[in-house]
Amino acid sequence: MSRSRLDLIDKKILNKLQENGRISNVDLSKSVGISPPPCLRRVRILAEKGYIKGYHAEINASKLGYGVYVFAMVTLKNQDQASINAFDAHLSKFPIIREAHLLTGDADFMLRIVAKDWDAYQEFLTKDLISVPNVVSVKSFLSLREGKNLPGIPIE
């Protein structure tokens, strides 16, 4: 059974799984209005087709001692593909960098970084991030609080 387009049931399944990745197949099937066997088949097809990339636990950062979120705007000396690829490769070495987005505009990358505290971020910035080849400047923006954080995407 192959689907090139998502129907309403598929979208409901994706929305429910996005809200709660640990929902049982029985509960999922009830919430979308189909029986469990076809629901499980649909979930497997959605995963095979790449609509479902994985399942994650949402971890309480402060419980593990991470109290600082920083958005860092990084400007590179060169923006050719080789330079961007090399920068991407360096980013993978730093687990405190949780997201990296290539941008248009004044900065080349926006990084979302989580650190234990401000001093830990400053140490990372001065010892690691600034010393990555091709980095010209880093502007740091400390998050004062999280106002909204919805997982995933809007599914209509």
Q: Do 80 and 121 have their domain in common?
A: yes
Its pTM stands at 0.84
Per-residue pLDDT, 3: 45
Q: Do 13 and 65 have their domain in common?
A: no
- For 86, the domain range is 61-142
The CATH number of residue 103's host domain is 3.30.70.920
pLDDT surpasses 60 at 1? no
Tell me which H or E stretch contains 89: helix 81-91
Task: Quote the number of domains for the chain.
Answer: 2
pLDDT surpasses 80 at 13? yes
CA gap 122, 131 in Å, rounded: 13
SS3 at position 136: strand
Q: Do 80 and 112 have their domain in common?
A: yes
Contacts for 132 with CB less than 8 Å, ≥ 6 apart = 87, 90
Q: Do 20 and 92 have their domain in common?
A: no
Q: Do 69 and 40 have their domain in common?
A: no
Contact between residue 107 and residue 100 where contact means Cβ atoms under 8 Å apart: no
> Quick check: is 90 in a domain?
yes
Contacts for 69 with CB less than 8 Å, ≥ 6 apart = 112, 113, 114, 142, 143, 146
Mean pLDDT of the chain: 94
Q: What is the pLDDT of residues 127-152, one digit of tens each?
A: 999 999 999 999 999 999 999 988 88
For the sheet containing 109-115, what is the strand order?
97-102, 109-115, 68-76, 135-142
Q: Do 74 and 138 have their domain in common?
A: yes
> Quick check: is 55 in a domain?
no
> Quick check: is 54 in a domain?
no
Please give the torsion angle defined by the CA atoms of residues 55, 57, 58 and 62, in that order, rounded to the nearest 10 degrees: -150
Per-residue pLDDT, 4: 61
